[in-house]
């Protein structure tokens, strides 16, 4: 059957790759142009058009959609473009390459993006919604960094305008607040955690494991040395890769510099995907058509939730699913390119599928991210280009691209061949449901006591500034992150012996958890502060009046917003209040007449807005497991955000007639996670609570009283008098009975069945009936006098 006959038998809506292109330059290349991202990408697109074998201008005119892989300059809220960039990268490249697409797209962050885009737009073409798309990505990080060091800095800024479907970062789940709090948010740190866990699972020494990593990656360097687009075209032996030297320093335990992705590159790649009908009309030779035989996309749970830190089963599962769809075995694949940002990204797949480092096919067609180069999220576009070229050179053979995003978090796999095949609809939803059935590990944010190391990371282990963190398990098997402290533990983590399984001792604070090798070191380096009142406070005014404690947040210039210092001081004050047997009621208010509290003072938070909140929650109250004695919120003005959340945690809210209540978090890109999302719908009618949470709507005092948010209203300026009267009324009752009532109400809140809750509340009588206060109350009633409570 001739190629013409074959092409005529193919469904015109079948998607086919008809062109691939790559562009690159190194700083020391003759004719180095210092091309910016858009120009470099345009070069790859032109190569892809030329690769079709048809008239490039004619191909450009057929493109419906142009889609850019998100570059590192736009990959997270913390990224930036120091030398500027086009405001619409897809259309900037389109203008340079004679395209006039109706739709421009910028994809989410992640190394899986190029392969996933083939799947997405292949389905769009198969459904007849589009005819032709160009996928591209580029990184000019090497040029940018070199230019920043010079005096003559280019400006890559460009105003293009036009429609752009910007899909955002898409990085939810790639890191967590706990990893950020403990400095474990970089890929090197997170992958080291997984790698060290794998080494422990295999029972290998650090030296033996390093040798295996060298054996895994050394064959890739030979491929990179032959690739004209490689950023580092040099062949290395296994020992060259893993033995620390001045030029190959240890960047972490267990990685040397030559084992991690190389991001200082100037590389771009592009793929032209068309319907068979469009390709036929464009006159593109069917011999150049490459078909997608199988494809799969899978998402792994976040690192800290995985049952086994050393494994990410979604990646090999995606490979198996793509092969199943293609109806071939792995041994029938002629060419592979496995994403290789770090060794475990490769070994995670090889372990499950039985691939060996010396597989005669090789594990890379590009040369791998540490040697060919790691052009941000776009590496897999180069993989596709190389696999397409290999498929064309051996017609009928199969090639496989496996692309990874995040911390083994998102995985996309494609199987390619010149053999014609119809498009097959995605089965990834079913695959994902299977993955999602896996168990998850509970994470503890505040860890105290003995624990066992599960894995660890040490950054710059040979420098005095070495930084270490561990992932450990408490006796209840919950997992936590902590910073390692003390030379004994740091030496263990950086030494030749395996520290995993060792016992450490943890202590929590508002900002982080720490662990040391011994309890004595912990007490010496991180002593617990004794429970009690300080002589003075930075952000609070605290006074006792008999059995009443009055606490004033004294930051009127910031509307009594709570800084990390404020939170820590409130936490300590309430610890002291609940521990003091002579204090029976507390009143919390704000200084001045403008605000009770306007919430979290983000400007004063450490880490550029990362909250440092005590284990007991915002204001030392919102996450406290129990408030055993009454706390009255005297709301004298604004109670917004965290301020309202603190008030909601109190037993009574007494409000100034001019007070205002609201949760404006959504208006500044946050959520009311300090209790507002839970307590407000339980306090107010659900519809009203949702209105306040989702819109930032505020309630005045009249509305708050009508809906049960506050219990008393005071004339303007008189809220403390009203709160003191409420405290006095509480003091007329038995402190023991008040505390027992609070405990019973708290227990009832957790019991959905009313009858069960009522029966459970009878247990409160066990402590009340044997208290001195009960005897005193009965005697005072009989003797017709005021009781003299002792609180016992």
Catalytic machinery residues: 645, 665
**Beta-carbon count within 10 A of 478 CB:** 15
Beta bridge partners of 128: none
Cβ pair 560, 552 in contact under 8 A: no
DSSP state of 506: E
Cβ pair 395, 389 in contact under 8 A: no
- For 208-277, the DSSP string reads HHHHHHHHHHHHHHHHHHH-TT-SS-----HHHHHS-BTTB-B-EES-BGGGS-----EEEEEEEEEEHH
CA dihedral 369, 373, 374, 377 (to 10 degrees): -110
3-state secondary structure of 64: coil
CA distances, 207 to each of 17, 198, 212, 309, 455 (Å) = 44, 14, 9, 21, 17
Cβ pair 61, 20 in contact under 8 A: no
* C-alpha span between 240 and 514 (Å, rounded): 36
Buried b (16+ CB within 10 A) or exposed e, 90-107: bbbbbbebbbebeebbbb
* C-alpha span between 748 and 763 (Å, rounded): 11
As given in the structure block, the two tokens for residue 387 are 């696999």
Query: Quick check: bond before 530 cis, omega within 30?
Result: no
Residues with Cβ within 8 Å of 617's Cβ and at least 6 positions away in sequence, in order, are 623, 624, 649, 674, 675
* C-alpha span between 33 and 21 (Å, rounded): 19
Beta bridge partners of 415: 294, 400
Can you list the positions of beta strands (E) in 443-590? 449-459, 467-473, 479-484, 503-508, 513-516, 540-545, 548-553, 585-590
Cβ pair 659, 590 in contact under 8 A: no
Q: Which ranges of 23-86 does DSSP label H, i.e. alpha helix?
A: 37-51, 56-61
3-state secondary structure of 632: strand
* C-alpha span between 400 and 381 (Å, rounded): 13
As given in the structure block, the two tokens for residue 93 are 């490249």
CA distances, 408 to each of 312, 343, 411 (Å) = 6, 11, 7
Q: Residue with structure tokens 């490459």?
A: 290
Positive or negative CA dihedral for 44, 48, 51, 56?
A: negative
* C-alpha span between 472 and 505 (Å, rounded): 10
Beta bridge partners of 418: none
**Beta-carbon count within 10 A of 165 CB:** 12
* C-alpha span between 277 and 285 (Å, rounded): 12
As given in the structure block, the two tokens for residue 371 are 């040697």
As given in the structure block, the two tokens for residue 27 are 């700083």
Can you list the positions of beta strands (E) in 306-419? 335-338, 398-405, 410-417
* C-alpha span between 63 and 66 (Å, rounded): 7
* C-alpha span between 605 and 618 (Å, rounded): 13
As given in the structure block, the two tokens for residue 441 are 């590990």
As given in the structure block, the two tokens for residue 62 are 């057929």
Cβ pair 284, 413 in contact under 8 A: no
Cβ pair 13, 128 in contact under 8 A: yes
- Name which of 703, 714, 712, 553 is nearest 620 in CA terms: 553
């Amino acid at each position: 059957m001739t190629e013409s006959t074959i092409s005529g038998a193919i469904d015109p809506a079948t998607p086919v790759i008809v062109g691939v292109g790559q562009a690159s330059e190194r700083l020391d290349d003759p004719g180095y142009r210092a091309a910016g991202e858009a120009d470099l990408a345009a070069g790859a697109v032109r190569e892809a058009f030329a690769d079709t074998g048809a008239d490039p201008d004619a191909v450009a005119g057929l493109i419906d959609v142009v889609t850019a892989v998100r570059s590192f300059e736009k990959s997270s809220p913390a990224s930036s473009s120091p030398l500027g960039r086009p405001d619409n990268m897809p259309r900037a490249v389109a203008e340079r390459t004679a395209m006039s697409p109706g739709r421009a797209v910028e994809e989410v962050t992640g190394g899986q993006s190029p392969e996933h885009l083939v799947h997405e737009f292949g389905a769009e073409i198969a459904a007849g919604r589009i005819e032709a798309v160009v996928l591209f990505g580029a990184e000019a990080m090497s040029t940018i960094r070199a230019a920043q060091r010079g005096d003559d800095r280019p400006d890559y800024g460009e105003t293009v305008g036009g429609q752009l479907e910007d899909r955002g970062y898409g990085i939810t789940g790639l890191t967590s607040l706990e990893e950020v709090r403990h400095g474990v948010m970089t890929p090197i740190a997170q992958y080291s955690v997984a790698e060290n866990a794998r080494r422990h699972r295999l029972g290998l020494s650090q030296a033996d494991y390093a040798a295996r990593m060298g054996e895994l990656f050394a064959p890739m360097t030979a491929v990179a040395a032959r690739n004209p687009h490689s950023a580092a075209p040099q062949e290395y032996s296994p020992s060259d890769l893993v033995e620390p030297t001045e030029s190959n320093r240890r960047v972490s335990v267990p990685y040397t510099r030559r084992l991690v992705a190389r991001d200082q590159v100037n590389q771009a790649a592009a793929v032209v995907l068309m319907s068979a009908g469009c390709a036929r009309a464009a006159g593109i030779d069917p011999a150049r058509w490459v078909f997608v035989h199988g494809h799969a996309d899978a998402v792994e749970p976040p690192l800290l939730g995985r049952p086994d830190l050393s494994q990410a089963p979604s990646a090999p599962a995606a490979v198996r699913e793509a092969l199943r769809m293609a109806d071939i075995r792995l041994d029938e694949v002629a060419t592979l390119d496995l994403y290789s940002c770090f060794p475990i990204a490769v070994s995670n797949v090889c372990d499950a599928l039985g691939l060996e480092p010396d597989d005669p096919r090789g594990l890379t067609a590009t040369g791998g991210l540490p040697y060919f180069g790691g052009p941000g999220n776009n590496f897999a576009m180069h993989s596709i280009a190389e696999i397409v070229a290999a498929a064309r050179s051996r017609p009928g053979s199969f090639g496989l691209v496996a692309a990874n995003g995040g911390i083994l978090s998102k995985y996309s796999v494609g199987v390619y061949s010149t053999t014609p095949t119809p498009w097959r609809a995605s089965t990834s939803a079913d695959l994902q449901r299977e993955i999602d059935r896996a168990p998850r590990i509970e994470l503890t944010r505040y860890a105290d006591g003995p624990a066992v190391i599960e894995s660890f990371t040490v950054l710059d282990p040979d420098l005095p500034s070495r930084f270490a963190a561990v992932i450990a398990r408490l006796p209840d098997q919950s997992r936590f992150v902590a910073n390692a402290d003390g030379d004994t533990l740091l030496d263990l983590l950086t030494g030749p012996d395996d520290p995993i399984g060792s016992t450490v001792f943890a202590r929590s604070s508002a900002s982080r958890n720490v662990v040391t090798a011994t309890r004595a070191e912990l007490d010496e380096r991180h002593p617990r502060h004794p429970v009690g009142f300080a002589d003075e406070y930075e952000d609070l005014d605290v006074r006792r009046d008999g059995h009443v404690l009055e606490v004033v947040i004294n930051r009127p210039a910031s509307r009594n917003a709570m800084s990390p210092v404020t939170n820590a001081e409130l936490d300590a004050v309430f610890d002291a209040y609940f521990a003091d047997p002579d204090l029976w009621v507390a009143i919390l208010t704000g200084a001045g007449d403008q605000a009770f509290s306007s919430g979290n003072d983000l400007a004063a938070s450490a880490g550029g807005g990362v909250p440092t909140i005590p284990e007991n929650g915002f204001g030392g109250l919102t996450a406290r497991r129990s408030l055993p004695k009454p706390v009255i919120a005297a709301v004298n003005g604004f109670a917004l955000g965290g301020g309202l959340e603190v008030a909601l945690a109190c037993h009574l809210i007494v409000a100034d007639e001019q007070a205002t209540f609201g949760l404006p978090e959504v208006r500044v890109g946050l959520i009311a996670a300090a209790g507002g999302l839970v307590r407000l719908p339980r306090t107010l009618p659900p519809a009203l609570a949702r209105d306040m949470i989702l819109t930032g709507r505020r309630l005045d005092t009249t509305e708050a009283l009508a809906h049960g948010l506050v219990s008393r209203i005071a004339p303007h300026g008189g809220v403390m008098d009203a709160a003191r009267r409420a405290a006095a009324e509480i003091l007329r009752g038995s402190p023991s009975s008040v505390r027992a009532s609070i405990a019973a109400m708290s227990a009832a809140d957790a019991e959905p069945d009313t009858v069960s809750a009522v029966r459970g509340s009878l247990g409160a009588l066990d402590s009340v009936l044997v208290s001195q206060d009960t005897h005193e109350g009965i005697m005072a009633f009989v003797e017709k006098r005021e009781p003299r409570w002792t609180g016992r």
